[in-house]
């Protein structure tokens, strides 16, 4: 069982302003946001030039699967927030349970994406089909890479949490992993409406 | 207040409702030209909830909060501009 070296951090503490996790990570987050931001704007710009192509190709996507994956990522972010809160409260047994749920939802996202890609490839649709699919495959594959990376990070933290390593006195690792996971969620919050819904 | 209306549960619930709304607007909102603005506005609201409540920028140093919220505003504004003014600003393809 963990030795609780630090008092729990009250959830309502009026503490000094701080960034969760490793401060250096936030520069990576900013770089990611600037890069993806340019892609998002470029997508809308190219769509304006080839609206008919984008609208027609978009209709071949399965919107229901897109919504399901959005719900998976939103809920996994909630689970990660809950894991961080449990760690701060020194409820060390709850931390791995919430993380396991988040990891399971991350894996579910990958499974849905696998079926989506398979259906497209089976229909002869690929990255080179048209401008819409250039964006669709490039953006979702880069994003999927982030989902895979984030799930690996969460799995490492889960393994440590099972040994009782995530508590109020040792928050940096779990906060860093959580922040990256929320970035993955945030990027999908843009990708889903742009690729699946925008008419 | 019931426990499920406290954060982070409240934020999660709003995000789910917002997703359902965007889905409805995108599929058959009957909003015509306004569909783009509504979609971008909901995306901005969802993004803001994630960065403030999940990424905890609400309690971050003000500079970091301004930078990330500024990014959200900038991207949303540029997407709106590209959506509504794109055909006039950009050369025709082909």
Summary mean pLDDT of chain B: 87
Residue A74, min C-alpha distance to chain B (Å):
7
Instruction: Indicate if the pLDDT at residue B94 is higher than 50.
Output: no
Long-range own/partner contacts, residues A88-93 (CB < 8 A, 24 or more apart): A88/A8, A88/A9, A88/A11, A88/A168, A88/A171, A89/A8, A89/A9, A89/A11, A89/A168, A90/A2, A90/A4, A90/A6, A90/A8, A90/A167, A90/A168, A92/A1, A92/A2, A92/A161, A92/A164, A92/A166, A92/A167
A2 DSSP 8-state letter: -
pLDDT at A109: 98
Residue B35 confidence class, pLDDT cut points 50, 70, 90: confident
Higher local confidence (pLDDT), B35 or A14: B35
pLDDT at A4: 55
Binding-face residues of A in 152-181 toward B, CB within 8 A:
179
Asked whether the CA dihedral A20, A24, A26, A28 is positive or negative, the reply is negative
Mean predicted confidence (pLDDT) in B7-24: 90
3-state secondary structure of A87: helix
Domains observed in chain A:
25-197 (1.20.120.80)
Q: Does A26 touch chain B (CB under 8 A)?
A: yes
Which residues, including other chains, have CB under 8 Å from residue A35's CB and lie 6 or more apart?
none
Mean predicted confidence (pLDDT) in B64-78: 97
pLDDT at A8: 82
Q: What is the mean pLDDT of each run of 10 residues along chain A (199 residues)?
A: 66 77 96 98 94 94 95 98 96 96 98 97 94 97 98 98 94 97 98 93
Q: Does A15 touch chain B (CB under 8 A)?
A: yes
pLDDT at B25: 74
Domain residue extents for chain B: 3-87
* Contact residues, chain B, for A28 at CB < 8 Å: none
Residue B2, min C-alpha distance to chain A (Å):
17
Mutation to test the A interface, candidates B13, B14, B26, most A Cβ within 10 Å: B26
């Amino acid at each position: 069982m963990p030795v609780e070296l630090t008092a729990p951090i009250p959830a309502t503490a009026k503490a000094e302003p701080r960034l969760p996790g490793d401060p250096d990570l936030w520069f990576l987050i900013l770089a990611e946001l600037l890069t993806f931001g340019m892609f998002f704007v470029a997508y809308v710009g190219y769509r304006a030039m080839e609206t008919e192509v984008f609208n027609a190709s978009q209709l071949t996507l399965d919107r229901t699967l897109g919504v399901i994956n959005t719900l998976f990522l939103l809920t996994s972010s909630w689970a990660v927030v809950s894991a961080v809160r449990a760690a701060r409260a020194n409820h060390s047994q709850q931390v791995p349970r919430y993380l396991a749920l988040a990891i399971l939802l991350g894996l579910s996202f990958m499974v849905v994406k696998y079926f989506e890609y398979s259906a497209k490839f089976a229909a002869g649709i690929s990255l080179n089909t048209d401008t819409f699919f250039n964006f669709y495959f490039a953006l979702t594959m880069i994003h999927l890479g982030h989902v895979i990376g984030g799930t690996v990070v969460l799995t490492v933290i889960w393994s440590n949490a099972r040994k009782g390593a995530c508590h109020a006195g040792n928050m940096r690792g779990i906060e860093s992993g959580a922040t990256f996971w929320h970035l993955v969620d945030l990027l999908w919050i843009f990708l889903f409406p742009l690729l699946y819904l925008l008419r | 207040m019931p426990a499920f209306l406290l954060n982070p549960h409240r934020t999660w619930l709003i995000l789910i409702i917002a997703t359902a709304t965007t889905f409805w607007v995108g599929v058959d909102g009957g909003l015509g030209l306004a569909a783009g603005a509504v979609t971008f506005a909901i995306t901005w609201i969802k993004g803001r909830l994630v960065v403030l409540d999940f990424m905890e920028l609400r309690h971050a140093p003000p500079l970091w909060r301004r930078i990330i919220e500024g990014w959200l505003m900038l991207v949303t504004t540029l997407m709106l501009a590209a959506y509504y003014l794109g055909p006039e600003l950009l050369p025709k393809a082909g």
